[in-house]
């Protein structure tokens, strides 16, 4: 059952990225997918007012290395938020389970340790078709991840002033 209940103390964050420093960490493995996510992310950055001079793009070998690069960007003061982009596509071995799970855990750990939004824009799909569907113009998870990053930066800033 859904409700239209709205608490008196509800806090919404907007998606105005003006003045925000956003870093994108991209995994090179499956870069035919990651490049599509990056294109969506760059489009969203422009639409939401993030200046090109406030964007840092870092490439790493694969999804497993993404959390370390995200943490380095934050610890060294390069970003107000980090968007992690990549693609882990299930294969014939259990390698997928280890890479996808550890990438997700690492991203969450960095976010919680630093208090900085670190967004999980790494596709974890069963096959190439699913990865292509989630990185196309109509449904691009790179674009969605940027909107999430901007919203979370604004939310954290609002909460710190409350």
Instruction: Just list the catalytic residues.
Output: 95
- Hunting for tokens 């960095």 — which residue is that? 110
Check: CB of residue 119 under 8 Å from CB of residue 148. Answer: yes
Helix (H) or strand (E) holding 103: helix 95-114
DSSP notation for 118-147:
EEEEEEEESSHHHHHHTBSSSSBHHHHHHH
Q: Which of 14, 5, 3, 6 is nearest to 158 (CA)?
A: 14
């Amino acid at each position: 059952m859904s409700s239209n209940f709205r608490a008196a103390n509800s806090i919404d964050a907007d998606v105005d990225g003006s003045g925000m420093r956003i870093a994108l960490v991209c995994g090179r493995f499956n870069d035919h997918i990651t490049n599509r996510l990056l294109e969506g992310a760059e489009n969203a950055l422009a639409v939401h007012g993030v200046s090109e001079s406030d964007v840092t793009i870092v490439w790493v070998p694969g999804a497993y290395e993404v959390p370390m690069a995200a943490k380095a960007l934050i610890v060294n003061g390069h970003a107000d938020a980090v968007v992690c982009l990549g693609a882990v596509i299930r294969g014939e071995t259990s390698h997928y389970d280890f890479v996808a799970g550890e990438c997700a855990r690492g991203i969450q750990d960095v976010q919680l340790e630093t208090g900085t939004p670190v967004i999980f824009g790494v596709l974890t799909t069963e096959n190439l078709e699913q990865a292509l569907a989630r990185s196309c113009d109509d449904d691009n998870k790179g674009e969605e991840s940027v909107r999430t990053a901007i919203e979370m930066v604004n939310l954290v800033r609002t909460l710190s002033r409350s």
